[in-house]
Amino acid sequence: MGDYQTIRVADGEFKAYVARPTAAKAPAVVVIQEIFGVNKVMRDITDGLAGQGYLAICPDLFWRIEPGIDITDHSKEEWARAFELFNAFKVDTGVQDIAATVDQIRQDPACSGKVGAVGFCLGGLLAFLTACRTSADATVSYYGVGLDNVIAEARSCTKPIMLHIAEEDGFVNKAAQAAIIAAVEGQSNVTVHTYPGRDHAFARVGGEHYNGADAMKAGQRSLDFFKQHLG
């Protein structure tokens, strides 16, 4: 179980869920939420990273719309609310909040100085932008929605990035996937993994499209990536 800390920005403050490893000093990883808020899935991922030896933190990026969103993907009503939140959310402002989270956790006495980020769905888009626009040292993006619209930013990004792409993603069509892959081709700092037959959110435990084998494969790739770039 983790606890919460407050992150202050120019126009207010928000909470972030924090899970700490047993080590006195460790690299940090910012966990970037899906459209369901900082829910059990996100807290479990944060706890899991702490179990792997990382100082993990998951900020509440919907705080300006409604603080403390914690819903699931198990009902039509929750899906409707999630899309309302998604449509009201401002991506650029969200990235600024992530930047503040990166800066704050880097100053934590338990942080070794290195900070990575991992995001899912909406968070997959935000993770990519985190690599391009913040001081994060390495980022992992899972099935980022809308990534094709900002992928050109990769040209000016030198930080290590890993992209997990579901080949049958219902929210990211084949043309968008092709555009993403083509845009980063030849960039040594970007690693792309594709997952044949997998749909969006194949790594979301309890989700409709969850696939244990590929979730484990992507998870191990992500851990190896963080070990390489964060230490």
pLDDT tens sequence across 198-220: 999 999 999 999 999 999 999 99
Number of neighbours of residue 167 by Cβ within 10 angstroms = 14
The rounded Cα 54 to chain-centroid distance in angstroms is 15
Give the mean pLDDT of 38-45: 98
Give the mean pLDDT of 146-156: 94
Q: What is the pLDDT, as a whole number, of residue 27?
A: 98
Query: What domains appear along the chain, each with residue ranges and CATH number?
Result: 3-230 (3.40.50.1820)
User: Which residue, 163, 167, 101, is CA-closest to 133?
Assistant: 101
- The catalytically annotated residue of 169, 199, 214, 229 is 169
pLDDT tens sequence across 93-135: 999 999 999 999 999 999 999 999 999 999 999 999 999 999 9
Confidence of residue 231 (pLDDT cuts 50, 70, 90): confident
Judge whether residue 1 has pLDDT over 80. no
Which spans in the chain are helix H?
Answer: 40-51, 76-88, 91-106, 122-133, 174-184, 212-230
Q: Is residue 169 annotated as a catalytic residue, yes or no?
A: yes
- The catalytically annotated residue of 97, 164, 200, 229 is 200
Average pLDDT, whole number, for the chain?
Answer: 97
Q: What is the pLDDT, as a whole number, of residue 2?
A: 86
CA distance 221 to 121: 18
**Residues in CB range of 181: below 8 A, 6 or more apart:** 165, 192, 194
pLDDT tens sequence across 7-17: 999 999 999 99
Crossing angle between the packed helical segments 122-133 and 91-106, to the nearest 10 degrees: 60
Confidence of residue 137 (pLDDT cuts 50, 70, 90): very high
Judge whether residue 88 has pLDDT over 80. yes
